[in-house]
């Protein structure tokens, strides 16, 4: 599940609350995470603390674990899992190569999931997510070059 946008966290909290117990993975960016925290009265803006709290929200199954993944633009990606928080560096991009950030979050999630379905590690999932986001922010609009070069 993706937190989607700050206004979703603010104005559709009841709907979010109904589906959250069924989400094993929750993605968002730092702004969405902070709004999510605020509307729940968590009294923290620390992204690592918020990711940890999201990862510990109850699951309907009660058996599986939840993983929270929060992107932060040029700052490290935060992943909370099993009561622990890890950070992963992003691929830094010179400012002159930045064209358009629209779709960066969706590209990140797509890259992440492309590795998750192959049984790869969380680190590999984050690397693929960062690669996909890095490629898309160098394009105008939500487009990819004809042949990506992810390995």
> What mean pLDDT do residues 34-58 have?
94
Most confident of 1-15, 28-42, 54-68: 28-42
Q: Is the pLDDT of residue 143 over 80?
A: no
- This prediction's pTM: 0.90
Catalytic machinery residues: 106
> What mean pLDDT do residues 111-140 have?
95
pLDDT more than 70, % of the chain: 99
Most confident of 4-13, 47-56, 94-103: 47-56
pLDDT given for residue 116 in this prediction: 97
**Under DSSP, is residue 69 helix (H, G, I), strand (E, B) or coil?**
strand
Which of 40 and 13 is assigned the larger pLDDT?
A: 40
pLDDT given for residue 145 in this prediction: 67
pLDDT given for residue 85 in this prediction: 97
DSSP letter for 97, please. G
Listed in sequence order, the DSSP H helices in 1-151 are 6-11, 13-19, 30-39, 47-55, 104-116, 122-136
Non-local (6+) Cβ contacts of 62 within 8 A are none
Instruction: Enumerate domains of the chain plus CATH numbers.
Output: 1-89 (3.40.1190.20), 91-150 (no CATH)
């Amino acid at each position: 599940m993706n937190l989607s946008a700050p206004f979703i966290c603010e104005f559709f909290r009841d709907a979010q609350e109904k589906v959250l117990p069924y989400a094993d993975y929750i993605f968002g960016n730092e702004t969405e995470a902070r709004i999510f925290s605020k509307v729940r009265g968590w009294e923290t803006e620390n992204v690592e603390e918020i990711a940890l709290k999201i990862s510990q929200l109850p699951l309907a199954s009660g058996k599986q674990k939840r993983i929270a993944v929060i992107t932060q633009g040029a700052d490290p990606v935060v992943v909370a899992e099993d009561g622990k928080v890890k950070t992963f560096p992003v691929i830094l991009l010179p400012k002159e190569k930045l064209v358009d950030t629209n779709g960066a979050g969706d590209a990140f999630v797509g890259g992440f999931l492309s590795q998750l379905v192959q049984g790869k590690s969380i680190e590999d999932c984050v690397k693929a997510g960062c690669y996909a986001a890095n490629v898309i922010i160098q394009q105008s609009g939500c487009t990819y070059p004809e042949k990506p070069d992810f390995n």
